[in-house]
Structure 1
Amino acid sequence: MEIKAADVKALRDVTGAGMMECKNALVECNGDAHAAAKLLKEKGLAAVEKRSGRSTGEGRVFIKAQGSKIAIAELTCETDFVAKNADFLAVGENIVNEILSKGYTSVNDTLSNMLLDLATKIRENMNVNRVQLVEVPAGAAAATYVHSDGKTGVITVFGCDPASSADNADIKQFAFDCCLHIAAFAPRYIKREDVDAAYIDEQKEIFTAQTAELDKPDNVKAGIVQGKLNKHLAEICFMDQMFVKDDKVSVAKKMEQVGKETNTKLNLLTVVNFQLGA
């Protein structure tokens, strides 16, 4: 039967498949547009299934704040070209909106299927890799940041006493600067107390071995080991790192300074750091 160009175009608009694919599907389905669309989707799903084992090293992080909630999601795909695709970006925005609307706290079929429709059209392996929903309590200041390449997204939340200080511009700026800091330095821990004891013991063994041959008394060697450990912890713990906008003070000291300047007791409540693939 004759397949009209207008019918091919209409099917292409609906499915996103190529013109020849649409024409062949219409021919195979005797001009039935609904059946042709179903056939194309099945072929798309089959193509995605074949590619399911392929690496998804590209993608983007999406963040959306609404009221007292902040949603963050990491979507992965195979190529940087697709990660910058307008349809991929739109699905990411829809997913964080859905997280906010439904209160989802983990990846589920609903969120995955929102991305699957695009994957069947583009025929590239894609995943909703992880999501998180942050509840910002009353009297807290929150900030978000997504790096220009879309591959890093950060959320920080600081408790404020008095609660009215949560609207203070300087505190909001500090919270945002902390997002920038985390994106830049990617601390492994928030504070020293969070570091696993086994990891600390391992580092002590390494530093002890490094100082074993030094011609110094044991107590001096022990001091060197402790100094090396303190320096290492200051490099990997957020609160001990030198602040991104003032390398003369640590993040903890900067928080104290901002608190004094605003007459506020600040308390770090939440840090979320999504780095693509990490």
Structure 2
Amino acid sequence: MAITAADVKALREKTGAGMMECKKALTECNGDSAEAEKYLKEKGLAAVAKRSERATTEGRLFIRQDGNKIYVVELTCETDFVAKNADFIALGEKMLDVIIAKGYTSVSDELKAMMEDLAVKIRENMAVSKVEVIEIPENSVGSFYIHSDKKTGAVVVISGSTSDAVKTFAYDCCLHIAAFTPSYISKKDVPQSYIDEQKEIFKAQMDQDEKMASKPENVKEGILIGKINKHLAEICFEDQMFVKDDKKTVIAKIAEVGKENGATLKFITAKLFVLGK
């Protein structure tokens, strides 16, 4: 069967494979376009399988709010070049459409298949690494932010009011989280095992300090407690100094915003998203 340039072009548009690959596939399959498409997909899958051990340390975060839910999708790939590829970006947005329409709350077989189709086309190891859905309760507001590198994002949900001022504050909190990358929302969320480990580290540092060694034990204990409290204030979101008012902690600022709006506000969600973590 004669293979025309139009046949090759049509197969290329369907598969994204090179002109020569499409011509070879059509030749191998006696001009049968459907068989040639299958042939190229199998070849692409084989190429992707060979790369399956390669690290997917690049990628992109996609976040969207729809109604009372905020949806987060993380796609990973091998190279920054692919992370900026128009097809890769379009796939992330399409996945959000599918997740919202079908109510997915985790990575599904359908989403994996969508990712596989693009992986075959681009021939790079990639994955749907995360799907998360965050609900916004009644009488609450939600907001999100994605940094310009698309690798860092944040979601904040605050209960107690739906006023515009509280919505603005929630967005500012997202900016704060992306900038200061807190590990915990509040001190009560910090595991005791982590605190004990930090105490051992600080104590070892103090023992190596000659000036500190001569101080009474009760004084050293007070200094140790001070160091722990300072460290917790640095890693806990509510105790950090607010990004837009460095004279107040986040917890003091939410109380202030609540008072101004005649409401008692509370953080329901304050979450940092970092690609690969």
TM-score above 0.5: yes
Is 1:84 aligned to 2:84, yes or no?
yes
**SS state at 1:265 partner:** coil
1:202 aligns with 2:186: no
Shift of 1:23: 0.5
User: Aligned letter for 2:203?
Assistant: T
AA partner of residue 195 (structure 1): V
Aligned-pair CA distance for 1:272: 2.9
Matches within 5 A, 1:175-194: 175-194=170-189
Q: Does 1:225 align with 2:224?
A: yes
Residue in structure 1 matched with residue 121 of structure 2 by the alignment: 121
In the alignment, the residues of structure 1 paired with residue 34 and residue 111 of structure 2 have an alpha-carbon distance, to the nearest angstrom, of: 25
Contact 1:142 1:155 in 2 (8 A): yes
Q: Which AA in structure 2 matches 1:208?
A: K
| Structure 1 CA distance for aligned equivalents of residues 54 and 199 of structure 2 | 40
Secondary structure, counterpart of 2:265 in structure 1: strand
Q: Which SS does the other structure have where 2:106 is aligned?
A: coil
Contact 1:70 / 1:100 at 8 angstroms: preserved in 2? no
Number of the residue aligned with 1:112: 112
- Matched with 1:263 is 262
Displacement of 1:210: 2.7
Question: Is residue 157–residue 269 contact of structure 2 (8 Å, CA) maintained in 1?
Answer: yes
Residue aligning to 2:100: 100
Query: In the TM superposition, what is the alpha-carbon distance from 1:233 to its structure 2 partner?
Result: 0.3
Q: Does the 8 Å contact 1:70/1:133 carry over to 2?
A: yes
Aligned partners of 2:122 and 2:204: how far apart in 1?
54
Amino acid at match of 1:2: A
- Letter paired with 1:139: N
Matching residue of 2:11: 11
Structure 1 unaligned blocks of 5 or more: none
Given candidates 172, 177, 191, the residue that maps to 2:167 is 172
What amino acid is aligned across from residue 108 of structure 1 in structure 2? S
Superposed displacement of residue 202, structure 1: 1.3
**Counterpart code for 1:36:** A
Instruction: Give the CA deviation at 1:131.
Output: 1.1
Q: 1:2 offset after TM fit, Å?
A: 2.9
Deviation at 1:138, TM superposition (A): 1.1
- Unaligned stretches of 5+ residues in structure 2: none
For these two proteins, the number of residue pairs brought into alignment is 273
The answer to whether the Cα contact below 8 Å between 1:103 and 1:133 also exists between their aligned partners in 2 is: no
Deviation of 1:76 (Å): 0.2
Distance (Å, rounded) in 2 between the aligned partners of 1:25 and 1:134: 45
Greater displacement, 101-110 / 145-154: 101-110
Contact 2:177 2:271 in 1 (8 A): no
Comparing 98-107 with 218-227, which one deviates more in the overlay? Answer: 98-107
User: Which residue does 2:32 correspond to in 1?
Assistant: 32
Amino acid at match of 2:173: C
TM-score by length of 1: 0.95
